[in-house]
Amino acid sequence: MNPTRGILIAGNWKMNHDQAATRAFAQALKSGLSKSMSEKVQALVFPPMLSLEVAKREFAGTRVRVGAQNVHFEEKGAYTGEVSGGMLKEIGITTTLVGHSERRQYFGETDASVKKRAESHLAQGFEVVLCYGETRAEREAGQTEKVLERQLREGLPSEWNARLVLAYEPVWAIGTGLTASPEQAEEAHAFSRKFLVSRYGAENAARTKILYGGSVTPENVHGLLSQPNVDGGLVGGASLKPEGFLALLNSAGSFF
C-alpha cells in the first residue's frame, strides 16, 4: 500500500447473493462498519445484476460503493441479454468490473473487448476495475511477464483516466486457496506499474491503484497490502460474509 493512493477493498460476489441475501449482508455490514474508518480505505461490492438495486438502496448513506460485474460497451441496441451503462447509472451504480478471468474463460471476452468496455465505461463516467492475470500453465512456462505485458498493452484504455483501477488476478489463485505470496504479488504489481509508466507517464502511473485478487482472506490480506505496489484487494469467496468483508476492511484500516 501507498499512503497517497490509499486502499480499495472490493468484493466480487460473482453469481451469489439474491436480493434477500444482499439485504441481510448489507444490514449486518452496516452495523459493523466503523464510523471512524479512515477515508483512505474505500469499500466496494459487486453484487449480481438483480441484486444491484437492493444493494444500492441498503448502502445509501454509507461509504460502500456498488458496482456491476458485466456491462456492455454499446449504449443501446440489439444485444440480447446485455445491460448498458445508462441503465446502471439510472439506479446509481458507480463502478464496472471488466476483464475478469471468468468472463474471459466462459464468455469469450478478449483483450480487445476488455479495452472496448473499459474505454466506453470510463467515457460514461464509471470507475472501472480492469482485471488481468496469467494462468498456471503460463506461469509454469515462465511466460508471466509476457502475458501480463500483452494483456495490458492490448486491454488498457488508450488514454489514462483517474477512474481506472487495475486488478492483477493470477488465474491459478482464483477460488483455489492458492494465494500468490506477497513477494509474487509485488513482482507482478511492480511490473504492471512499470508498464503504466511507459503507457501513461510516471505521474499517472503513480496515481493508479493496482488491486490483487485470488484467494485473498482476512488472514493473508495484511501481508499482501504491506507490499508497496499492492493497493487493495478484489476478493471473491472471503467477501461473501459480512464478517469476512469487515475483517478485510479492518485489516486495511490498520495501515492508517
Instruction: Name, in order, each residue with C-beta under 8 angstroms of 13's C-beta and a sequence gap of 6 or more.
Output: 45, 46, 47, 48, 51, 69, 236, 239, 240
Which x/- pattern over 168-207 shows residues binding ligand PGA (rule: CB under 6 A)? -x----xx--------------------------------
Q: Is 237 in the site for ligand PGA (CB under 6 A)?
A: yes
Minimum gap (Å) between residue 223 Cβ and ligand PGA: 15
Task: Confirm if 70 and 103 have CB atoms less than 8 A apart.
Answer: yes
- In angstroms, what is the minimal distance from the CB of 52 to ligand PGA? 17
Q: Closer CB to ligand PGA, residue 205 or residue 246?
A: 246
Strand-pairing partners, residue 7, are: 41
How would you class 187 by CB atoms within 10 Å of its CB: exposed for 0-12, middle for 13-18, buried for 19 or more?
Answer: middle
Cβ atoms of 10 and 234 closer than 8 Å: yes
Instruction: Please report the beta strands in the chain, taking only residues with DSSP state E, as ranges in sequence order.
Output: 7-12, 41-46, 64-68, 95-98, 127-132, 164-168, 210-213, 232-235
74 among known catalytic residues: no
Minimum CB distance to ligand PGA, residue 233 (Å): 8
Q: Give the residue closest to ligand PGA by C-beta.
A: 236
Q: Does 12 bind ligand PGA (CB under 6 A)?
A: yes
Active site residue 169: yes
List the catalytic residue out of 138, 169, 186, 189. Answer: 169
- CB 20 → ligand PGA: shortest distance, Å? 22
Binding mask 65-94 for ligand PGA (x = CB under 6 A): ------------------------------
Cα-based distances in Å from 235 to 45, 161, 244? 9, 23, 10
Question: Active site residue: 17, 58, 72, 100, which one?
Answer: 100
Read off the C-alpha cell for 215. Answer: 484467494
Q: Which of 90, 92, 42, 50 is nearest to 69 (CA)?
A: 50
Q: C-alpha grid cell for residue 34?
A: 466503523
Per CB under 6 A, the list member of 225, 236, 242, 248 interacting with ligand PGA is 236
* Binding residues with ligand PGA: total (CB under 6 A): 13
Find the part of the chain contacting ligand PGA (CB under 6 A) among 17-25, 116-124, 132-140, 235-243. Answer: 235-243
Region for 60 from its dihedrals, namely left if φ exceeds 0, alpha if ψ lies in -120 to 50, beta otherwise: beta
**Considering the complex, what minimum distance in angstroms separates the CB of residue 201 from ligand PGA?**
29
Q: Which residues bind ligand PGA (CB under 6 A)?
A: 12, 169, 174-175, 213-216, 234-238
Catalytic annotation, residues: 100, 169
